[in-house]
Homo-oligomer: A and B are copies of this chain.
Amino acid sequence: MSAYRELESRFRRMAALGEAAGMLHWDMSVLMPSGGVEARTEQLTALKLTTHEMKTDPALADLLDAAGGEALDGPWQVANLAEMRRIWVHANAVDADLVEAMTRASSACEMVWREARPENDYARVLPYLEEVLNLSCLAASAKAAALDCSPYEALLDEYEAGGRTDRIDDLFADLTDFLPSLLETALGKQSARGDAIMPAGPFDTERQRDLGRSLMGVLGFDFDAGRLDVSLHPFCGGVPGDIRITTRYTEDDFTQSLMGVLHETGHALYEMGLPADWHYQPVGSARGMALHESQSLLIEMQACRSREYLSFAAPLMRETFSGSGPEWEVENLYRLYTHVERSFIRVDADEVTYPAHVIMRYRLERALVDGDLRLADLPGAWNDAMEDLLGIRPPDDRQGCLQDIHWYDGAWGYFPTYTMGAMAAAQLFAAAKAAQPEIPDRIAEGDFMPLVGWMRKNLHAKGSSASTDELMEAATGKPLGADDFKAHLQARYG
């Protein structure tokens, strides 16, 4: 067997074990009884250690070297080998003790954070967070040397392969120039036309679920190849062939949960469209978190908050909940779904203010990783940044630097991918409409096949066979940029 084939076989095993772990995570979030925590932790730890040992097996390094000298069969194998190397670097740049210390520190910190947040007690979690940051920086420095990038970029690389801060700085600068005046305009228009009317509940959760399932079906979600369930924190899990998204329902309001379902369905469609021939190989995976988020935002923000979509969906909503009155009219629901407001909490933010939440976090985490900001000074720096970018100051840390699980669970370098995803979503949607101008009309008829088909062909089926920018360029004719996102926001809110 060639070294490359042997690598494929080893990575196939690792991928299958990783998918097993993913399924067990899903189970834990959706239906595991509380008594299962200890055993589940043991199972997941065993899986993690086993794959880590496979990645750090010295024979793997030899195989990677040997495969580099082999004649590979086409660009997918070349790209696959490059991805294998990247995975190898991440696993081997840091030693096992540091990996274990990081796992331990972030678990402990996350647990303390879960209590500190409701109690608004940043001081309590601070020493834990310092430990997490210190260890993350140690790992980042080691990886930076191996990846030939800055420590922050080494952290970012886990979520967005090859991501570079100069590119992100440019993209974000473009937005920070543009957004403040757009926000003023949007708020002015909104205030001039008066408040949208919120449909009044209670909304039966079974009906909410049925509506969600039905609209997932419209998007092309195949229930023979996936599920919709309930969990505290909505997510998209599972594996191609068995994609599992979750949501949570509240009887007071169906609108948030429904949009959440559509968002997760966007993630699911990406996973469902990955190249089946390369399943279990690194090159067959989704290309990073920016493009993953682009697919959820493409569905949720670009497509499903449009007037076209709501003209299709509004009658279904009204019918599902036996509603009547002006609150069920398309224009009212459109206003509800495009409501803009300065607010403290990122996950509740609209698409005009969301980038500010992300950009301030990106600046802060870079400063923390680069040593330009001390964690002890984070609450003040957070509130200053919020005031600077959005003009509001959080009254407490619960609504400030304690709100997100990121950082406390060790996820540094993740935040920028949210807004990169929003930009990619707008750019991909614009390109899809340019190629197939019938897309908006079709969406108005509840037909997503032109949009999803285009996305499948131009993005999903390409897996990780090229970089984010290369994929964007092939699909849209240009690398990731802010222009289409700005144009989208201008058209919808300006």
Contact = CB atoms under 8 A, between A and B. Distances in A.
A390 to B, nearest CB: 43
B17 A43 contact: yes
A322 interface: no
Tell me which of A17, A24, A42, A239 has the highest count of chain B C-beta atoms within 10 A of its own C-beta: A42
B242 A36 contact: yes
A20 B33 contact: no
A25 to B, nearest CB: 11
A474 interface: no
A447 interface: no
Residue from A12, A46, A227 whose CB has the most chain B CB atoms within 10 Å:
A46
A225 B38 CA distance: 11
Interface residues of A, number: 41
A280 interface: yes
Nearest to A20: B43
B16 A23 contact: no
Given A23-B27, A27-B27, A241-B38, A16 B33 contact: no
A13 B239 contact: no
Contact of A13 (B19, B21, B49): B49
28 contacts: A13-B46, A16-B43, A16-B45, A17-B46, A17-B50, A20-B21, A20-B24, A20-B46, A20-B47, A24-B24, A27-B27, A32-B242, A33-B223, A33-B242, A34-B224, A34-B225, A35-B224, A35-B225, A35-B241, A36-B225, A36-B239, A36-B241, A36-B242, A38-B241, A39-B240, A39-B241, A40-B242, A42-B280
Interface of A: 12-13, 16-17, 19-21, 23-24, 27, 31-40, 42-47, 49-50, 222-227, 238-242, 279-280
